[in-house]
Chain A
Amino acid sequence: MANSKTPSDLTRPLSPHLQIYRPMLTMVMSIVHRITGGALYVGTLLLAWWLLAIASGPNAYATFQMVASSFIGRLVLLGYTWALIHHMLGGIRHLIWDTGRGFGPAEREWMARATLFGSITLTVLLWLFVYLVTGGLR
């Protein structure tokens, strides 16, 4: 009620933000979805660089491969793979929500766990495959 305002009401935050709430899995997953999206936004530069390097010739490609196969390069690519898979699984969760399904307490908790477990498992399997089958980055 507008006429029942006391000074303490006025100093109270109008829109409580993240620091007010106890972290919960669904909330953390929502934040991580946005962070991975932002990371992929920057990481797509690597894809553009890779394509441009191949189009430019053997020297440019060798430079890219040298950077990509360095320790930092592999770490970035590992993070990129996880962010991509996590954002994709999180996106599938959002598409399910868009149909009006999956909002129940048990369902949303289950989907949050499946997204996290799925993204980590698929990333590990993908990198194992790259190293064991194709011989890894050269």
Chain B
Amino acid sequence: MREMRTPLGRVRGLGSAKTGTEDFWHQRLTAMANIPLVIAGVVIVISLAGRNHAAAAQILGSPLIAILMLLFIISVTFHMRIGMQVIIEDYVHEETSKIALITLNTFYTVAVALVSAFAILKLSFGV
């Protein structure tokens, strides 16, 4: 027997990298958070759909709506980043392109998150 540790012991020790299941868990964590947040987000978007700019800006800037939208944006973009990374890793096998695309994926999702969060905070703080 070359390996003294049991398979379970090896899994608990998480191998030499000591990591590996964070993305899996975070994908589920954000998925669960997304369910109530997407419902809240859809209700907010629909209730603002027919309004003029002043009303939309005022409602989006109110604390409860702004907090819900911020949570929605953070959870959704986090979920998007992991999901697209899985797609890239499934289909792109050339190492350089894969790392380039995974990097762009992070840039894109962080940019979408920041633009949206900045807009919500600007409306909330009214400047």
Given A38-B87, A45-B112, A61-B56, A84:B119 Cβ within 8 A: no
In Å, the complex CA distance between A129 and B123 comes to 27
Whether the pair B120, A51 counts as a contact (CB closer than 8 A) is yes
> Which of A103-111, A113-121, A130-138 is found at the contact surface with chain B?
A130-138
> Which of A5-13, A22-30, A89-97 is found at the contact surface with chain B?
A89-97
For residue B5, CB closer than 8 A to chain A, the reply is: no
For residue A48, CB closer than 8 A to chain B, the reply is: yes
Q: Which of A34, A57, A84, A129 contacts B38 (CB 8 A)?
A: A84
Whether the pair A55, B122 counts as a contact (CB closer than 8 A) is yes
Whether the pair B28, A98 counts as a contact (CB closer than 8 A) is yes
Whether the pair A95, B53 counts as a contact (CB closer than 8 A) is no
Which applies to chain A's interface (DSSP): helix, strand, loop or mixed?
helix
User: What's the interface size class on B, roughly?
Assistant: 20 to 34
For residue B8, CB closer than 8 A to chain A, the reply is: no
For residue A58, CB closer than 8 A to chain B, the reply is: yes
CB-CB under 8 A from B92, the residues of chain A are: none
Of chain B, the residue at the smallest CB distance from A55 is B119
For residue B107, CB closer than 8 A to chain A, the reply is: no
A to B CB contacts below 8 Å, 15 in the list = A45-B112, A47-B45, A47-B73, A48-B119, A52-B115, A54-B119, A55-B119, A55-B120, A56-B119, A57-B53, A91-B35, A95-B28, A126-B42, A135-B50, A136-B50
